[in-house]
Amino acid sequence: MKTTLNLQDADGFYEQLLDAHHGLDRDQSELLNARLILLLANQVGDAAILRGCIEAAARLPSGES
pLDDT of residue 18: 98
3-state SS string for 25-42? CHHHHHHHHHHHHHHHHH
What count of other Cβ atoms lies within 10 Å of the Cβ of residue 53? 18
The pLDDT tens digits of the residues spanning 8-37 come to 999 999 999 999 999 999 999 999 999 999
pTM of the model: 0.80
